[in-house]
Amino acid sequence: MPQPRSVAFIGLGIMGLPMSINLVKAGFQVTGYDYNTQAVQKLAEQGGKAAGSTAEAVAGADAVITMVPDSPDVEAVLLGESGVFAHAAPGSLIIDMSTIRPDVSRALAAEGAAHGFRVLDAPVSGGEVGAIEAALSIMVGGDEADFESARPLFDVLGTTPVLVGPAGAGQTVKAANQLIVAGNIQLVAEALVFLEAHGVDTEAGLKVLNGGLAGSTVMARKGEAMRGRRFQPGFRIALHDKDMKIVTAAAREAGVAIPLGALVAQFVGALKAQGHGGLDHSALLMVVEQLSAQES
């Protein structure tokens, strides 16, 4: 299969915009579309091409990448009358890099194949920093030949593109990723509140903890901001709430128990219900403080 050179990028948010810009810098012809016209303009300023609709963006593209918030958004972008399946060239590579339900990914892959498209689900991990630095972990579900066709794109966007199985498998692995990340943030938050209650220098405490078995990417990237109660996103609570609903539903469907994950999912949901959906997911620290009757 020929490797793509022209790319339509649908969804230029916190993740999508820097990802699309990295593709431009790597020499790909990138046409972007988003409801946010300012984001489209920022892509154009970096050498990309602005489109006024999904249909316009995908016209003539070898590959289409979607990066939108949730399952219904992906369905609308791909299946709508002015969507990708209705206007992209048959045989195009369709890569959904959103984080959505695995069953929806499987259904969209089947629908895409019926229209003559090659569809991959390829959600990412690494957050805004990973998107900007082109250091994302990319979990791909789909056909091996299609994965190899998409590899030049993945190699620009991340450092760890891995084919993990057939359609929907990428989303399943991403659900597991979000389960681990939420649990890790929760434990870092609990450790911080615990250390503070005992008067420990938390900067030194986190430094030594991160040098041992307790260390993690979450602690390295989020620890300092959590110490300072700086919860600017990053990755918003509202999105992690959506992701935790995906993993808890998928676990229930498979008959798998995730007791700790289910508890953290309730904490994430509680923060969103309190009106904190726009904060970074490291704001789980606030729940620990509430339960401990501590004040920031």
Residue 15 has φ and ψ, to the nearest 5°, of -90, -45
> Do the Cβ atoms of 129 and 103 come closer than 8 Å?
no
Residue 161 has φ and ψ, to the nearest 5°, of -85, 125
The CA angle 78-154-67, to the nearest 5 degrees, is 30
Name residues whose C-beta falls within 8 Å of residue 263's C-beta, 6 or more positions apart in sequence: none
| Known catalytic membership, residue 174 | yes
Q: DSSP secondary-structure letter at 236?
A: B
> Do the Cβ atoms of 241 and 274 come closer than 8 Å?
no
Here the tokens at position 25 are 């810098």
CA 153 to chain centre: 16
Q: Count CB neighbours of 151 within 10 A.
A: 15
**Among 261, 268, 259, which residue's Cα sits nearest to residue 180?**
261
> Do the Cβ atoms of 160 and 139 come closer than 8 Å?
no
Q: Count CB neighbours of 2 within 10 A.
A: 8
Entry field: residues in the chain: 296
**Among 162, 149, 140, which residue's Cα sits nearest to residue 117?**
149
Name residues whose C-beta falls within 8 Å of residue 35's C-beta, 6 or more positions apart in sequence: none
* Catalytic one of 174, 222, 242, 272: 174
The catalytic residues are: 174
